[in-house]
A and B are shown apart, each in its own frame.
Chain A
Amino acid sequence: MIDIQPTSPRRVKVYSLQGDRWIDRGTGYCSGELDAETERPIFIVRNEQDDTEVLLKAPIEGTTQYQKQQDTLIVWTDPDGNDFALSFQELEGCYSICDFLISVQQNIEPNISLVAVVPVGSDGEITEMIAGPVPPPPEPKDENLPEVLDYLNQGSKTTFFRESISKFIDSEGYLSKLVDAFNRNEKGRNLTNLHYLCDIIKTLVFYNDTNILEQFLDDNIIIGVVGILEYDPDFPSYKSNNREYISDETKFKEVIPLNDQETSDIIKKTFRLQFLKDVVLARLLDDATFGWIATLIYFNQVKIIKFLNENEHFLSSLFAMYQGDDYVIKDGVSDEAKNEANRVLTPKSDGSCSSPSNGDADADPQDADELLQKKRDGIRLVHQFVIVAKGLQATARSQFYSALVKRGLFKLIGFAFKDIHTSSRVLATELIVSIVEHDVLLINGTQPATDDIDEMPREDEFGDENSLEIKERFLSDDMTLFALLTFILLEEEDIGLKTQVSEALKVLLHPSPSTVSSANLSGGSLGPSSLNTTNYLTAFYSKVSPSLFEPLVKVASLALKPRSSTPLSDSDGAVTAVPSSSSSEESKFSSLKRHESVLHQNLCELVSLCASEHEKHLSRSFFLENDVLLGVSYLVNPVFPLQTRLGAVRCLKSILVLNDEFYTRYIINMDVLKPVVELLKETNNSNNLANSCCLDLLNTLIRGDANGSVPNNRFVREYLLSQYEDTLMLNFLGRELVQKTKLEKKAKKQEEEEDVISDEDLGGNTMTSPDPDYGFGDATEEVLAKVTPEKRLWEESDEGGEAESEQTSKPTGNTGQSKKRQSPAKNPVKDSKGKLKREKLKKQNDKKKVSSILKSKFAHAGAKLLNMKKED
């Protein structure tokens, strides 16, 4: 009885019941203690004024039930039938006496009980047992299963009961008895009893007791438990095959021996838990139980991932299987990204994936097959745990992902992309996307960025023996992953994979702060700002983007060709666009076309992303120099499938809302919106997605985007008005655009007349001084700094043009428009490179004039727009 400690005295009023009246017996200090003489537990209350006077001395014994009421009151009837009540001054006093009673019940007087009386609703109340005698559940026999069920159901109502039963089940091997009963009754085909057993197990599940669940998962019990759950009385005519599934050991694929029994057990138990949660109990679980099991799974997964992180051998020996499959180029930087990827990815002539170079090429074919299968399973294994890690906290995820990268994930990826099994490539891409989405540095870190090496978390985090390999990866430079993904995007025929790769590229091209936030693993100060995206993106634009956007450049070259030649002739290998057909039938199995359409749509999305997220001097220079926008525009033509056409319209819209005057100028000069207007006309009479897509673009031109008006759109509207007024007038929104633009022009004209006077006052300087709001000055410098010589020529003459425009802008205002009509797209030119170059120069000369005119217009109109804004 050492456990029983006397409680400290608490101030209390003592009452006893006489007839139907509670009589105040005085105020004193109450404690629970063992009687000095009898060593039996008692309540004793001593008078507060005179502690030698005992107000109450009550033995705690027999089957007395103590009721706790209203948090401060304890009421009971003693064996002689006298009613007593102790009213405590403080909650704590009452609680400490309750604790005393609980410990008495558990240690000395098992038959006393303590119940809480809890009010329910306005006048009802229930009693809930806190401590008391709990008879053991009946031994499960064939004839008493309803009783067992009833008993467990009763018990489920209070925590105290549940805990007591849980302890009992734990200590008495109760579950094995239930399983024995199950085996007997299944043999005897006693369906009624099987249904009772199922309800018994279900009831136990809802105890939400970790002990019981742990026992379910035991090797000797689990089969019985899921077997019992096959006989669900709610679905008497159905029987699931839980046992077959869970006992099939082949479901556990061991790729590399784990050599750790404890982890192995956790993995198996987690698997069983998941099976219970997702399959066997899926319909039963309420949110609480579901959440509870999910939490248990979560903690197991944390342990498993931790093991994989910390175990020296597992991941290393896993990745060692792929020795020689690594795609990292060791012999310096290759210029042509695509060739790089090509070389790496070209499958061996036998069509299977390349065999590892570490000597087992001589092994017999069966072993080779086995190894191949093991390698594929290895991909699935890593994929499984990468998905698991997705559910963990960011730090744990970072640790695991960087452990993967450090120990040789790229060898596996190199293998996967060479594998002829699409599923391997799909999983590998998902691996990349998951890791890159989480922390782009984990992949980016294998890029060169030599000045960043010191900041790389892995440098100080990991041991020396691996640093050599990592350094190699830094030295081996750069855009390998980009090149690889680009290659897959361009060449892969599996459309799902293509889309996946496009997702991966988007993440890589837009490393947002959130994706690097977890890079502070080693406590370093590595933040988003130290992400050296400039080097990274410069490398992208010089090495990858020419290959990536090549399909659009090719399409653009079509747009620049004379109309007379058939645009789809395949002889020059430009594009393989097949005329779209309105019937879904023809296009249905045309996978080639589909594949190309998906590619074009993805490229359009990438153009939008690059144009809006990357520094202008990188993305814009690239897109304008290579006529990528013209290519996008060409995709709006009816020879392409509607999905492609609309994707291209969306891309152009995203460029328009950038409010960038270089793009605006290009769009106007190159008549980029022509096919959009044609698509609008084509869909004028149909209310469908294509029509809405065009209307959305017009609406943006009229009203701006969600973020407000887009000033440059005004010039686009003027261009549309001058070129396509008739077509626009056929559409209700087109008419609005025309009217708005005409009104603006009218207003502008009036202002111009007024301005003539002010211009003269200012010596005409206003016309040429660029409006800073449009970024003429610095944007031009940026471009000049980066452009190729050919480009520079254009820009320089453009600069010169500005001077020219000083004198000519007003009188030639209309000439500019007419010159633009002779855009090179319509000029006949021979299909030779030299001619094309000359053509380009000519085009640029045209541009020079037009743009200088426009530029002065811009500055002028911009200033006015600003004034208007101020008035608003």
Chain B
Amino acid sequence: MPSLSTVLTATRIIQDVKRCIVIPENDVRQLCFLSQELLMQESNIQLIDTPITICGDIHGQLHDLLTLFRIAKDPPETKYLFLGDFVDRGFYSLETFLLLLCYKVRYPDRIFLIRGNHESRQITSVYGFYDECLRKYGNANVWRYCCDVFDYISLGAYIMGASGESGGVFCIHGGLSPAVEKIDEIRLIDRKQEVPHDGSMCDLLWSDPEENIPAWAISPRGAGYLFGYDETKKFLHRNNLSLIARAHQLVMEGYKEVFDHGLVTVWSAPNYCYRCGNVAAVLTLSDDLERTYTVFDSVLQDCNEIPSKKPVADYFI
């Protein structure tokens, strides 16, 4: 149960973040430390009950995340699982991540975060989050605090229906790894590290399903693997699963089921990069693990500025 001061701090930051007010560095640091302590109590693969709403990549599109919360209801009313890639690309990576962390410390049992391949020092240095922090604070320490939190975020989730009859749902950002046959094996990973370049932890965050191959293939991304129908079926069977829910790939329709409905990609960043023209979706699993997809588009509401980057404060000559 979060303490009163935690609740107050989190509530205040939530309000400010929604209005795109830059959060003081000290507050970010404090929030990051609180989150670390909370996250390190979680297992690599978290066990979560239904009903739950599963969301894919957000990529710093704060206003679309706010739309998502408006449509699917704010926490704690709805229980959420976010499949990673909170940051990069969009203009509000920091606010997006802080908002999710605030909800996490405020309602630790109503919102769950797992790590995406963009929750990494190396990737964020290239795809925007680092620059955003530098731009907003003039130095990179806020980025450092957030990256330290990234290391503590768990790797996946296992969702079991209330009835327990049909197989559970395995949730992961990327996909399968040739090094992981049973979900239990993931427990042996010491996840507190920068996302490695290979090995099971890397694969789980980087792999993609591919319909035209049976088993494994080299991934064009340069990390992780492509995995096909056969491997997916085997994995489902071995682990008594009915579904693998993952994100990691843009889907114009917001979601896409493949492999005889054994795997779904969920994408929750509408009009990705502010110009891809796609819609977004979230997946809600009922107690019987029945799937309901809610599709939504990008709308500007409740925000006091046109989404854009912050200009630098000063320029020196």
Contact = CB atoms under 8 A, between A and B. Distances in A.
A271 B315 contact: yes
Interface residues of B, number: 52
A381 B316 contact: yes
Interface in A475-529: 495-497, 499-500
B314 A643 contact: no
Q: Which of A283, A384, A499 has the most CB of B within 10 A?
A: A283
Contact of B29 (A240, A255, A496): A496
Interface stretch (A110-118, A411-419, A584-592): A584-592
Contacts of A696: 188-190
A583 B4 CA distance: 13
B308 A584 contact: no
Nearest to B309: A278
A630 interface: no
A756 interface: no
B317 A283 contact: no
B317 A264 contact: yes
Interface in A251-266: 251-255, 258, 264
Interface in B1-54: 3, 5-6, 25, 29-30, 33-34, 36-44
Contact of B317 (A252, A693, A695): A252
Nearest to A277: B309
B214 interface: no
B199 interface: yes
B306 A384 contact: no
Nearest to B196: A706
B311 A423 contact: no
Nearest to A238: B306
B315 A253 contact: yes
Contacts of B152: 689
Interface in B299-317: 300, 305-317
Given A423-B138, A430-B140, A585-B6, A687 B187 contact: yes
Contacts, number: 153
B275 interface: yes
A690 interface: yes
Interface in A266-317: 267-268, 271, 274-275, 278-280, 282-284, 286
Q: Which of B41, B139, B148 has the most CB of A within 10 A?
A: B139
Q: Which of A254, A499, A733 has the most CB of B within 10 A?
A: A499
B134 A692 contact: no
Interface string A361-401: 00000000000000001001100110100000000000000
Contact of A689 (B139, B191, B310): B191
Contacts of B190: 646, 650, 653, 689, 692-693, 695-697
A426 interface: yes
A588 B306 contact: no
Nearest to B32: A495
A427 interface: yes
Contacts of A25: none
Contacts of A280: 308
B182 interface: no
Interface string B275-317: 1000000000000000000000000100001111111111111
A163 to B, nearest CB: 26
Contacts of B315: 251-253, 267, 271, 384
A652 to B, nearest CB: 12
A687 B138 CA distance: 39
Interface string A69-96: 0000000000000000000000000000
Interface of B: 3, 5-6, 25, 29-30, 33-34, 36-44, 91, 134-135, 138-142, 144-145, 148, 152, 187-192, 199, 274-275, 300, 305-317
Given A275-B311, A278-B309, 9 more contacts: A238-B305, A253-B316, A278-B308, A430-B140, A496-B142, A585-B6, A588-B3, A643-B36, A706-B199
